[in-house]
Amino acid sequence: MALVDSFEKSGNQLFRYRGQIPVILFVAAIPVVYFTDTSFLNEASKNIITIISISISLLGFIIRAISIGTTPAGTSGRNTREGQVAETLNTKGIYSMVRHPLYLGNYFMWIGIVMFTFNFSFVVIVTLLFWLYYERIMFAEERFLERKFGDTYMSWARKTPSFLPCFRKYVRNEMPLSFKSILKREYSGVLATVVGFVFIDDMRRYFETGNFEMDTIAHWVLGATIILVLILRSLKHYTQVFKEEGRS
């Protein structure tokens, strides 16, 4: 098998199992939190790192929300677990600045949680592994789009960065931002992110004190998030509240 075909095949396989990444990160975070020495950090430093970590994850959510909220049905931003899906090519809005904004958003959402371990070697390692993993996925996706849209895709790809946005290339999106699309499609990612922060916080407290404490701000936030997710999920599956013309 030619190397280019091997890359594409492995990219498609990795795409199908990308949802397992959070589980892997949670498992890897346990020994990282256990062995990380935080004695050189005072409470103020820990609070600052915590705020930065949450802000980075929030940035990732905003990037994903903009991508999803301005993406119409049948475009290259609507890939499913089974594979690549695209009837038209996204080239405006956030897609005029970066070719893979959803993956960029994923990176920031998860690297914020990783930074919350207070282990910056872990941040570097996860960043490298994330790039190796998603590089194959992006390669497979771009091969699909190249075959699907030909010169139109190549013209856009040549002038648009793959992962690091170029803000001066911005072209206004004709599709308005839809908060309904964001609420309908992003609640699971928000819940996973909150669970990630609470998990790290619980592990660190347990390793430091030998006890789990349920009456914390983190658990109250988690409880509120779960309730919100259940409401949004019910509205999505049992009502027409989120139904919009031209949106999937």
Angle between helices 21-35 and 101-115 (to 10 degrees): 30
What would the mean pLDDT of 70-86 be, rounded to a whole number? 60
Assessment of whether the complete model's pTM goes beyond 0.75:
yes
Distance in angstroms (rounded) separating the CA atoms of residues 230 and 207: 31
Could you list the residue range(s) of the whole structural domain that residue 35 is in? 3-174
Percent of the chain with pLDDT over 90: 61
Distance in angstroms (rounded) separating the CA atoms of residues 191 and 186: 9
Domain-embedded: residue 198: no
Structure-block tokens of residue 141: 């996706």
Domain-embedded: residue 236: no
Could you give the number of structural domains in the chain?
1
Domain-embedded: residue 7: yes
For the domain that residue 30 is a member of, what is the CATH number?
A: 1.20.120.1630
Structure-block tokens of residue 218: 């983190």
pLDDT band at 63 (very low <50, low <70, confident <90, very high): very high
Domain-embedded: residue 26: yes
pLDDT band at 81 (very low <50, low <70, confident <90, very high): very low
Domain-embedded: residue 240: no
Query: Comparing C-alpha atoms, which of 17, 113, 24 is closest to residue 61?
Result: 113
Distance in angstroms (rounded) separating the CA atoms of residues 91 and 58: 24
Domain-embedded: residue 116: yes
Distance in angstroms (rounded) separating the CA atoms of residues 138 and 163: 10
Tell me the backbone φ, ψ of residue 45, rounded to 5 degrees. -65, -40
Residue 107 pLDDT > 90: yes
Domain-embedded: residue 218: no
Domain-embedded: residue 195: no
Residue 82 pLDDT > 60: no
